[in-house]
């Protein structure tokens, strides 16, 4: 079998950040990234694609051009991981050996969990920014709607970028407002959960935005089926077996999400199916040669690229210590961020650590919709991703803790 010092499962935001940093820190290590996908997506850009702010093409690059020099790209799908033997099995039957493993295959989008969705996604006004072509179709749907009912859904947590479902609502409503048709459109935001955002500190600002556009909020409603031809969506009221059928002219769907099946069904998973790592060191709780980062983790941080940016240097430092037989000293504080696009040109930039502790990088009251934060979202973050994170050279940011009592 082929053997590498470090094998990385998944070449997304997490996998490439770690590969680039490891390569810089320890050029003597042999490193392989396993990922079947030929294109790499900057997924946070899809919110802006859905609003016609960013072309889809600018969120995509050839994976081959992003793999750091000296790192081997194995263009295959991982079928299973065998931490007792320190091997990974690929779809093509090959077995790869490692000294250290980094698990970062992201999150799985369970489109099948909603009856009828797959058949109609991308047609009949049924769309999703969580899908690459869907993001472009969202913009088509939004542009073409002049009246009627627009439904936006949010499944049970956890999902990646928990703010993305409502970002789609706000940008669509702002577009309709600017076009002068918002008063003819009934916008409904149906959430499986019972609050607008996980961190209470930001909720009043977001509620103001909801009221401004006249969005109807529906809590504890979980989308379970879609009939594209009839243009009807069926919701289950959480905790009951009661259902509601709602007609729509367009619907933006966010699919339920889970850890990828090959992780969920492995010895690496915790009870809920997520990768079972220590929340500070990012090393696996049972297997000392396994580390992980990104959306696949069972830790309580927000599943965002912003979290990955903080996790990558911690993981790399600890992985190198572990190879040297030294104690793991770096620790991740649970940082995550969510740039909530409340209108064209304005963002509420939510930033927080484990336990919902609020922090601030920009040093103003970040609950206020801000143009500076929009520029970060639309211009700076994409550059930081492609040229900083993926090359392992993004700068460390200092943040101030915010007193949320006052």
Q: Mind giving me the DSSP string for 143-170?
A: HH--SEEEEEEE-SSP-SSTTHHHHHHH
Report the C-alpha gap between 121 and 125 in whole angstroms. 8
Tell the residue number behind the tokens 């927000």, with chain if given: 302
Binding footprint of ligand FAD on the chain (CB under 6 A): 9-15, 34-37, 43-44, 46-47, 77-78, 104-106, 129-130, 160-161, 164, 260, 262, 294-296, 303-306, 308, 337, 339
Residue 17 C-beta: closest distance to ligand FAD, Å: 8
- Greatest CA separation for the chain: 65
3-state helix, strand, coil in the chain (%, to 5): 30, 30, 40
Q: Which is nearer to ligand FAD, 244 or 272 (CB)?
A: 272
Asked about 338 being catalytic, the answer comes back as yes
CA distance 249 to 26: 55
Q: Find the helix or strand (DSSP H, E) in which 7 lies.
A: strand 2-9
CA distance 340 to 63: 28
> Nearer Cβ to ligand FAD, position 15 or 155?
15
CB of 398 to ligand FAD, least distance (A): 19
Residue 29 Cα distances to 161, 200, 287, 401, angstroms: 33, 44, 21, 38
Q: State the catalytic residue, choosing from 104, 141, 173, 338.
A: 338
Residue nearest to ligand FAD (CB): 12
Nearer to ligand FAD, 283 or 303 (CB): 303
Looking up tokens 């190879």 gives: 323
Least separation in angstroms between residue 37's CB and ligand FAD is 4
> Within 10 Å of residue 85's Cβ, how many Cβ atoms?
11
- DSSP strand E in 176-286: where? 185-191, 216-218, 221-227, 232-237, 243-247, 250-252, 257-258
Minimum Å gap between C-beta 327 and ligand FAD is 26
Nearer to ligand FAD, 273 or 294 (CB): 294
Spatial neighbors of 384 by CB under 8 A, at least 6 apart, are 309, 394
Q: Are 406 and 373 in contact (CB under 8 A)?
A: no
| Residue whose CB is less far from ligand FAD, 221 or 295 | 295
- Between 6 and 231, CB nearer to ligand FAD: 6
Compute the distance between CA of residue 403 and CA of residue 390 in angstroms, rounded to an integer: 33
Shortest distance (Å) from residue 6 CB to ligand FAD: 15
From 104, 141, 161, 190, active-site residue: 161
Question: How would DSSP label each residue in 173-199?
Answer: HHHHHHHT-GGGEEEEEEESSSSS-SS
Q: Which residue's CB is nearer to ligand FAD, number 150 or number 306?
A: 306
Both tokens of 169, joined, read 């609502």
Is residue 190 among the annotated active site residues?
no
> What is the smallest separation between the CB atom of 70 and ligand FAD, expressed in angstroms?
20
Q: CA of 334: how far to CAs of 190, 303, 368, in Å?
A: 28, 10, 23
- Minimal distance, residue 264 CB to ligand FAD, in Å: 12
Q: Hey, which residues are catalytic here?
A: 161, 338
């Amino acid at each position: 079998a082929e053997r590498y010092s470090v094998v990385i499962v998944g070449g997304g935001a997490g996998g490439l950040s770690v590969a680039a940093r490891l390569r810089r820190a320890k050029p003597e290590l042999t490193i392989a990234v396993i990922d079947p996908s030929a294109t790499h997506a900057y997924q946070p850009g899809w919110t802006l694609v859905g609003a016609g702010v960013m072309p889809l093409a600018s969120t995509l690059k050839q994976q081959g051009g992003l793999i750091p020099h000296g790192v081997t790209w194995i263009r295959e799908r991982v079928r299973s991981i065998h931490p007792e033997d320190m091997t990974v099995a690929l779809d093509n039957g090959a077995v790869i050996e490692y000294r250290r493993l980094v698990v970062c295959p992201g999150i799985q989008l369970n489109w099948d969990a909603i009856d009828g969705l797959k058949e109609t996604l991308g047609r009949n006004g049924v769309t999703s920014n969580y899908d690459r072509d869907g993001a472009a179709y969202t913009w088509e749907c939004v542009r073409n709607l002049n009246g009627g009912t627009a439904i936006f859904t949010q499944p049970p947590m956890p999902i990646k970028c928990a703010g993305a479902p409502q970002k789609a609502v706000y940008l669509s409503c702002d577009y309709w407002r600017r076009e002068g048709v918002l008063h003819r459109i009934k916008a409904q935001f149906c959430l499986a959960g019972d609050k607008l955002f996980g961190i209470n500190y930001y909720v009043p600002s977001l509620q103001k935005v909801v009221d401004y556009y006249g969005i109807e909020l529906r809590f504890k409603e979980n989308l379970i089926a879609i009939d594209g031809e009839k243009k009807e969506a069926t919701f289950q009221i959480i905790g009951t077996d009661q259902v509601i059928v709602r007609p729509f002219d367009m619907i933006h769907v966010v699919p339920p999400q889970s850890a990828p099946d090959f992780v969920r069904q492995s010895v690496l998973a915790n009870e809920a199916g997520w990768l079972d790592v220590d929340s500070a060191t990012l090393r696996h709780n049972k297997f000392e040669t396994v580390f992980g980062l990104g959306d696949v983790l069972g830790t309580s941080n927000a599943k965002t690229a912003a979290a990955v940016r903080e996790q990558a240097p911690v993981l790399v430092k600890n992985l190198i210590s572990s190879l040297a037989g030294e104690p793991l000293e770096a620790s991740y504080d649970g940082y995550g961020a969510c740039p909530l696009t409340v209108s064209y040109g304005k963002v509420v930039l939510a930033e927080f650590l484990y336990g919902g502790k609020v922090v601030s990088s920009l040093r103003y009251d970040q609950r206020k919709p801000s143009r500076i934060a929009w520029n970060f979202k639309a211009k700076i973050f994409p550059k930081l991703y492609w040229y900083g994170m993926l090359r392992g050279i993004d700068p460390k940011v200092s943040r101030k803790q915010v007193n949320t009592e006052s």
